[in-house]
Amino acid sequence: MNLSHPVRRLLFVTVLALDEGGARDAFLADAQKYRRELLAHCYRMTGSLHDAEDLVQETYLRAWKSYDNFEGKSSVRTWLYRIATNTCLTALDGRKRRPLPSGLGGPAADPYADLTERHEIAWLEPIPDAPHEDPADPSVIAESRESVRLAFIAALQHLPPRQRAVLVLREVLQWKAAEVGEAIGVSTAAVNSLLQRARAQIDEVSPSRDDQPVAPESPEAADTLAQYMAAFESYDMDRLVELFTADAVWEMPPFDSWYSGPADIIALSKNHCPAEKPGDMRFLTTTANRQPVAAMYMRNPQTDAHEAFQLHVLDMTTAGVAHVVAFMDVSLFAKFGLPEAL
């Protein structure tokens, strides 16, 4: 083609741009299959479902803008993880960690004392499990190697962001140290040092239990969850006591206190729960962080409707319910596909 004519040259450049833009869009359309696992990755890094969703969007935007720089030396999946990790590190710069009440450093609280809400704290959030997961899906494989259980996510938040990134990339995604170093711009020796410090910190803050966790899809979990919801719905607090382990923990952000032991948990419920009689509470079930969830709806005496109240994320072991985080952020119900009222 003779490109000496200005109009022909302009048309040629335009066609090239359209072809390039189409290739870029096709590339990113194919990359959408990694969205769920990138969401889990950004969630591990931030402890926030809301932030993770925004950061995944930012990751795809950055990938779209830098498509021309992708040389194919690594897989598309690895390239996206590298972008997502650095996007998270940038976002976390200067931010405080997202805790649970038990991670604030204070002792277990008196269940008869007043409750204090702390809305200025950015609390840890749960993440809904993906429906109809394929066991062969890379995101499922990654999550099975290192759980997304709340206890692990809460422990991760104690780490500085770069240590957090190294631990997740090395031990969850099973990247080699050199790959991690290249991704975050440090030497292999620095990666190994960061990993060693991260492991020590995780061991220090992670809860130690003799009992094994129960899979949320198991018959044991389904039975315990059914008994748990039935005890609340019938307002049978004595029955509820029997379901908790001796050292069970209860917390409910944005309240900054946490409670230990069945007696104190029941005392808290009797003294501070707005329910007064059987039928005031109803539940729907789902799962989050690979744990059973009981979504509580509280009866509104003015309308007689049961309205979204708390999301109970349960940590079940072979000995019973070991930990409940009752999230009171009702905006989470929509994220879990749950109705605002029954």
Residue 140 reports pLDDT greater than 60:
no
- Cα(55)–Cα(49) distance, rounded to whole angstroms? 10
Domain boundaries, the chain: 1-95, 219-335
Q: How many Cβ atoms are within 10 Å of 286's Cβ, its own excluded?
A: 18
Q: Specify the higher pLDDT residue, 11 or 40.
A: 40
Q: Specify the higher pLDDT residue, 12 or 96.
A: 96
Domain 1-95 class, CATH top level: mainly alpha
pTM (2 d.p.): 0.87
- Cα(210)–Cα(319) distance, rounded to whole angstroms? 9
Read off the pLDDT of residues 91-130 as tens digits, 9 standing for 90 and up: 999 899 999 999 999 999 999 999 999 999 999 999 999 8
Output the pLDDT for position 211: 76
User: Are the beta carbons of 86 and 187 closer than 8 angstroms?
Assistant: no
Read off the pLDDT of residues 34-91 as tens digits, 9 standing for 90 and up: 999 999 999 999 999 999 999 999 999 999 888 877 776 778 899 999 999 999 999 9
Residue 7 reports pLDDT greater than 60:
no
Which two tokens mark 290? 């690979």
Q: For the sheet with 291-299, list strands across it.
A: 258-260, 244-251, 320-327, 306-317, 291-299, 281-288
What type of residue is 241? V
Query: What 3-state class would DSSP assign to 18?
Result: helix
What's the first-to-final CA gap in the chain, in angstroms? 68
Which two tokens mark 269? 């419920």
- The closest of 294, 293, 276 to 229, measured between CA atoms, is 294
Output the pLDDT for position 20: 52
Confidence of residue 217 (pLDDT cuts 50, 70, 90): confident
The CATH number of domain 219-335, selected from 3.40.50.2300, 3.90.470.20, 3.10.450.50, 3.40.50.720: 3.10.450.50
Looking up tokens 């494989």 gives: 141
- Averaged over 284-294, what is the pLDDT? 94
Bridge-based pairing state of the strands 291-299 and 244-251 = unpaired
User: Are the beta carbons of 111 and 265 closer than 8 angstroms?
Assistant: yes
Confidence of residue 21 (pLDDT cuts 50, 70, 90): low
